[in-house]
């Protein structure tokens, strides 16, 4: 199995154009409409907007510089090219190449919660299929139902294993990106994040069932010297 693709915030992946920042390998993300949660990478900024990459097959998305909780002209985030945000699609223009607008707040409340929208600092981003990303975004009951279309318990299993380390944070984008960060310090934190990425990638690539996911978690932690 190929190693999981890892993107650190601020990193860019090179494809055909040596100076063009890219967010991960080629994949197809079809925007279903407003409200999709996505992990976007800042490409550049203009006076009022951040111009973001959400996939290689869609135009740059626009994110208002004041579209963050509590943001004013003085307090708005100063995001640089390559940095990441967790955002919601606010609107999609008509036709191919239609403008895509993002927001990092709940439009009804002006708050970042309950989705945890906003800049993603630290951690790593892993690429998964858009179908698997959708499964990860199901409600807990749907996701854990081994007989249903979800059947994804790998994060819950990892959560139990890493509880003594302080746990970890996950943000899932419907565009096939999963951001992971750990509360643990130093090398332990990095190893936890890499272990989670490996488990997510293999669960996706091999379409593992619930029992196979449990075995995978034990195997990966043992290989990394983190088994208990």
State how far the Cα of 16 lies from the Cα of 22, in Å rounded to an integer.
10
Give pLDDT tens digits for 176-208.
Answer: 999 999 999 999 999 999 999 999 999 999 999
pTM, full prediction: 0.82
Chosen domain end from 104, 120, 136 = 120
**Segments forming the whole domain that contains residue 37:** 32-120
Assess if residue 115 is contained within a domain: yes
- Looking at the structure of the chain, the number of domains it has is 2
Assess if residue 10 is contained within a domain: no
Average pLDDT over every residue of 101-128: 94
Which of 16-20, 71-75, 156-160 shows the lowest mean pLDDT across its residues? Answer: 16-20
State how far the Cα of 205 lies from the Cα of 175, in Å rounded to an integer.
16
State how far the Cα of 91 lies from the Cα of 151, in Å rounded to an integer.
31
State whether 81 and 135 are in the same domain: no
Decide if pLDDT at 170 tops 50.
Answer: yes
| Cis amide leading into 114 (omega within 30) | yes
State whether 137 and 105 are in the same domain: no
State whether 129 and 188 are in the same domain: yes
Chosen domain end from 88, 120, 152 = 120
Structure tokens at 221: 């932690």
pLDDT of res. 12: 39
State whether 213 and 129 are in the same domain: yes
Residue 147 or residue 44, greater confidence:
44
Paired strand residues for 182: 168
Q: Report percent pLDDT > 70 for the chain.
A: 77
Going from the C-alpha of 163 to that of each of 1, 2, 154, 157, 166, the distances in angstroms are 28, 28, 14, 10, 5
State how far the Cα of 157 lies from the Cα of 143, in Å rounded to an integer.
13
């Amino acid at each position: 199995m190929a190693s999981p693709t890892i993107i650190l915030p601020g990193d860019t992946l090179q494809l055909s154009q040596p100076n063009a920042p890219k967010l991960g390998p080629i994949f197809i993300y079809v925007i279903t409409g407003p409200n999709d949660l996505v992990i976007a990478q800042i490409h550049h900024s203009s006076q009022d907007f951040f111009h973001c990459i959400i996939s290689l097959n869609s135009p740059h998305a626009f994110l208002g510089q004041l579209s963050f909780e509590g943001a004013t002209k003085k307090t708005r985030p100063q995001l640089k090219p390559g940095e990441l945000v967790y955002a919601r699609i606010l609107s999609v223009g008509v036709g191919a190449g239609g403008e895509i607008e993002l927001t990092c707040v709940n439009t009804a409340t002006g708050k970042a919660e309950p989705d945890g929208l906003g800049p993603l600092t630290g951690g790593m981003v892993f690429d998964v299929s858009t179908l698997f990303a959708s499964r990860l975004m199901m409600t807990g009951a749907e996701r854990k139902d081994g007989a249903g279309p979800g059947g994804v318990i790998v994060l819950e299993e990892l959560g139990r294993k890493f509880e003594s380390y302080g746990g970890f944070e996950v943000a899932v984008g419907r565009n096939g990106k999963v951001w992971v960060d750990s509360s643990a310090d130093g090398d332990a934190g990095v190893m936890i994040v890499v272990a989670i990425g490996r488990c997510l990638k293999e669960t996706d690539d091999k379409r593992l069932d619930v029992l196979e996911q449990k075995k995978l978690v034990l195997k990966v932690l043992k290989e990394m010297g983190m088994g208990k």
